[in-house]
């Protein structure tokens, strides 16, 4: 939903990359299990159930690469996916934050894992911070955005589940989200509206991932 479409050669490069080889590398339940930091990484962050794993599947055009679920709290570890052969980048699917129903110590464990990874990962080129288009930015999202701003980690807000609301509502939440992104020092000024169901915004997001590692 940006005014200027991404340059079409970038979109085409991205399409080719994500329709080529992509392989699950490993799950890291703790920081000590992270893969060596030898390739650029782009990570999916956001509240539980916002659609992180679904968006990773849509981006890579592979159902079931990342496990998804109706029940919040599906993804419990950092999951690394190698993209390209030869390797170009790694995608990282992460546990969600703000999931109140999980036991407190589990929630804490996920939060430390996600926050430590986001703050300290040298090869992390960009975090995609997913926002449910039906709800807009919540305070728990703002906490993560503040942490990323403070740590000077580049991030981009991505609206998810755009198919679940009317186009006029989407335009409204998109405008509000862009306005807030532009007040944030480490946030990309453009916001992509996506749907893993309809494919809306996926080509643009792929191009955004390439741009992030470029």
Size of the site for Mg ion (CB under 5 A): 4
- By C-beta, is 72 or 84 nearer to Mg ion? 72
The CA distance from 156 to 191, in Å, is: 7
Residue 201 touches which member of ligand GTP, Mg ion, none, C-beta under 5-8 Å by kind: none
Segment contacting ligand GTP by CB under 6 A, of 25-33, 47-55, 121-129, 178-186: 47-55
Distance of CA 49 to the CA centre of its chain: 12
The CA distance from 189 to 75, in Å, is: 28
- Nearest to residue 40, comparing CAs of 94, 90, 5? 90
- By C-beta, is 68 or 177 nearer to ligand GTP? 68
Q: How far is the CB of 7 from ligand GTP (least distance, A)?
A: 25
Q: Interface with ligand GTP includes 52 (CB under 6 A)?
A: yes
Q: Which position among 143, 190, 197, 211 is part of the footprint of ligand GTP (CB under 6 A)?
A: 197
Q: How far is the CB of 87 from ligand GTP (least distance, A)?
A: 24
Integer Rg of the chain from CA:
16
Q: Which position among 113, 196, 205, 209 is part of the footprint of ligand GTP (CB under 6 A)?
A: 196
Transcribe 89-150 into DSSP letters: EEEEE---B--TTS-HHHHHHHHHHHHHHHHH-TTEEEEEEEEETTT---HHHHHHHHHHHH
The CA distance from 53 to 92, in Å, is: 10
Q: Interface with ligand GTP includes 157 (CB under 6 A)?
A: no
Helix H or strand E segment including 38: none
Q: Which residues bind ligand GTP (CB under 6 A)?
A: 46, 48-54, 68-70, 72-75, 95-96, 160-161, 163-164, 195-197
């Amino acid at each position: 939903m940006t005014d200027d479409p991404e340059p079409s050669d970038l979109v085409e490069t991205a399409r080719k990359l994500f329709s080529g080889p992509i392989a699950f590398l490993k799950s890291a339940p703790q920081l000590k299990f992270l893969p060596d930091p030898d390739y650029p990484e782009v990570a999916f962050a956001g509240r539980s159930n916002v659609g992180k794993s679904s968006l990773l599947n849509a981006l890579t055009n592979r159902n079931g690469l990342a496990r998804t679920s109706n029940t919040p709290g599906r993804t419990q570890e950092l999951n690394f996916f190698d993209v390209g052969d030869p390797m170009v980048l790694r995608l990282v699917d992460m546990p969600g934050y703000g999931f109140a129903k999980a036991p407190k110590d589990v929630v804490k464990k996920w939060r430390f894992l996600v926050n430590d990874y986001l703050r300290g990962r040298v090869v992390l080129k960009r975090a995609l911070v997913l926002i449910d288009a039906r709800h807009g930015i919540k305070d728990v999202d703002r906490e993560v955005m503040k942490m990323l701003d403070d740590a000077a980690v580049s991030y981009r807000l991505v609206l998810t589940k755009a198919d679940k609301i009317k186009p006029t509502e989407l335009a409204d939440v998109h405008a509000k989200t862009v306005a807030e992104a532009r007040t944030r020092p480490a946030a990309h000024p453009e916001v992509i509206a996506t749907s893993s169901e309809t494919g809306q915004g996926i080509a643009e997001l792929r191009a955004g991932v390439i741009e992030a590692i470029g």
